[in-house]
A = this chain, B = another copy of it.
Amino acid sequence: MDMQKVNSMDFGEFVDVFGNVIERCPLIAAAVWSQRPFSDLEDLERHFFEFIDTLPRSGQEGILRCHPDLAGRDLQRGTLTAESQREQSGAGLTTLSGDERRRLSELNARYRARFGFSFVLAVRLSDRAAVPGELARRLHQQPEHELRTALGEVKKIGHLRLLDLLGSEPARLGP
C-alpha cells in the first residue's frame, strides 16, 4: 500500500486499516487521520507517537491497560485481536507448558499490582524464553521509568504493525 492510497482514505477506511496500530485504541488512528496528508511511513508513525506523547499520564496508562497480558486471559479465551494473536503465537506464547503459563501469570499479576497497567513487550523482537526474565527485570524498575519503557514497547509494536500494513520493507522478526 503506498501513501497516495493512504492519503485518499476516508476516516472509516483509515480506522478499518490502522485502528489497531495501537492495540485496542482506534481512537488514536481516528485522531491521526486529522493530520493527513502523510509524506511517508515515518511521517504517519510520528503522528501516532506524538498523539501518545501528548496524552495526560492517565491516558498513557490507559493505552497500556488496553493491552492484553502475554499468554493471559484473552489468549486462553480466544479474544485477542488478530495482530496480538499473530505476535504472541509467533513468539511461541501460545504453546507454553502449564508451568510456564503459571509462572507468567504470576509475574503479570505482580506487575499489574505494582504499576497499575499491563506488562507490554514487543514480543516479535523477543521470544518465549526471554519473556519471564524481562518481566521479572522490569518489575523492579521505578514507576516513572517503567511507564516510559512500556510506552517505548507500544511504539515498537506500532512500528512493526505499520511496516506490515505499508509493506515498503519487510518487518524484521528477529531482535
Contacts and interface: CB of A to CB of B under 8 A. Distances in A.
Given A10-B112, A58-B51, A65 B25 contact: no
Contacts of A30: 61-63, 65-66
Given A31-B58, A51-B59, A59-B31, A66 B26 contact: yes
Chain A binding site: helix, strand, loop or mixed by DSSP? helix
Given A62-B27, A65-B15, A66-B26, A34 B57 contact: yes
Interface string A8-25: 001110010000000011
Given A27-B59, A51-B58, A66 B34 contact: no
Interface string A104-148: 000000001000110000000000000000000000000000000
A125 B27 CA distance: 25
A149 interface: no
A71 interface: no
B24 A26 contact: yes
Contact of A34 (B11, B32, B116): B116
